[in-house]
Structure 1
Amino acid sequence: MSEAPQATVLAGPTSVGKSTLSKHIRIHYPQVHFSVSATTRPSRPGEVDGEDYHFIDRERFDQLIAEDAFLEWATVHGIHRYGTLQSTVEQAVAEGKRVLLEIDLQGARQVRDRLPGAQFVFLAPPSFDDLVSRLIGRGTEDEGERQRRLRTARIELAAEPEFDVTIVNDDIDRAARELISLMGLDPETYA
C-alpha cells in the first residue's frame, strides 16, 4: 500500500455538506489539521472568524493575491472570493501533519497545479434532488442565490471524474470514516 498524501483536497458541489463533514472531523478527529480559508463573504450565523473562515475585506484579499500568498483562490457563485493561504498549508505539511483543504472546484484545480502530491476527494450527494433539498433546507440564501448555486452545482457535479476518489455523503459518520481512512489515519481513533 502506498503512503497516504499529507494534503487532501475535499471539494464538491454547493450544499453537499462539505462544511458539515469538516466540522464532524474537527470534533472527532483532532489529529487532522484544517486549512482555514479566507473569504470576502460575510459570516453566516454561528460561524467563527479564524475557525470556519478568515473573514477579510476585498482590499486585503487583493493585497494577498498581489503577494502570491494563496495556494488557490477563486470567485465563487460570481460574487465572493475564497482562498487558501499557501504558507499555512506548507507549514503544516513540513510539520508532518495530515492536512485537509475544504475548497471549491476552481480552487481544487489550482491546487492540483501547485501541490502535485495532494489527494483529491469529491464529496457527492446521494442524488441531485437531495442536493436541492439540502440547499433549500439551509434557509441561508434567497431564491436568486439558490438558483445561482444550483446552476454552479450542475457544473461542479460534472467535474467528478477529475478527482481521485468520490465519497457519497449519505451518512456523515460513514463519510468521515472513509475520508479519514483515505488520509492514511485510523478511523477508529475517535476523540
Structure 2
Amino acid sequence: MDHDPTPWFVIIRRHTGALALSLILLTSGCGLLGSDDGDNGEDGADGGDGGTDAAEAEPGAADTDNVVAEGTYDVPDLEGGSAHFEIHELKVQGELAQLSLSMTVEDPEGNGRSGRPTLWDHWRSYLTVYLVDNDNGNRHATVMDENEQSIGINAHEAFDYGDTLSFGAAFAAPPEDVETMDVYIGDYPPFTEIPLVR
C-alpha cells in the first residue's frame, strides 16, 4: 500500500494511571508527520477540506473505555515490540467526522531505545491515518488548517513504553446515508466497518 503523505493526528493525550489531558496542535508537519506536498490523498469530492479552520477540526475527548475495534502489530526497529491500536469512536459533528483512537507501544524484551523514545525513533516514515467510504468509493484525508497545512502531533514527543497515547483526527463527513467507514493507519491492516455515530 502506498503511503499517503498527509499527516494524521490532530491532538495527543498521554495518560499513565490517572488520565491527564495534554492537547498539542502543531502545523509544522515535521518528523513522523512529514511535510505537506499538496497531495492530500483525496479520491473523490469528499476527500478532505483544505480550507477548514483548525479550531473547527479539534475533536473533543472520547470515552477511551469504549473500544469498537482493536489490533496489535509489530513495531519497526523494535525487535519483539508491538503497537496496540484501539478505535474508540468515529463521530459526525456538523461537517466533520471525528475519529478518536489510542496506541500503546510495548517493549517486553527490553530492546527499545535508551531513555525515552519518540514515535519517529521507530517508524521513521509517515504513519498516516485516513478513512475510506466504501459506499461511495471516497477516501477521506485529514482536514487542513487555514494555511493549508496538516494539523498533527509532535513526532518527537518522548514517551515511555507501556504508555497509552490517545489521538483524535478530523475528516470531512461522509453523506448521511453512510453508516460505516474503514480506518487505515499506515501500512497496517485496516479496521473495517467502523460505525459512524451521528
Q: Which has the higher helix share?
A: 1
- TM-score greater than 0.5 by the shorter chain: no
TM-score range, shorter chain: under 0.3
More strand by share: 2
Superposition TM-score, scaled by structure 1 size = 0.26
Normalised to the residue count of structure 2, the TM-score between the two structures is 0.25
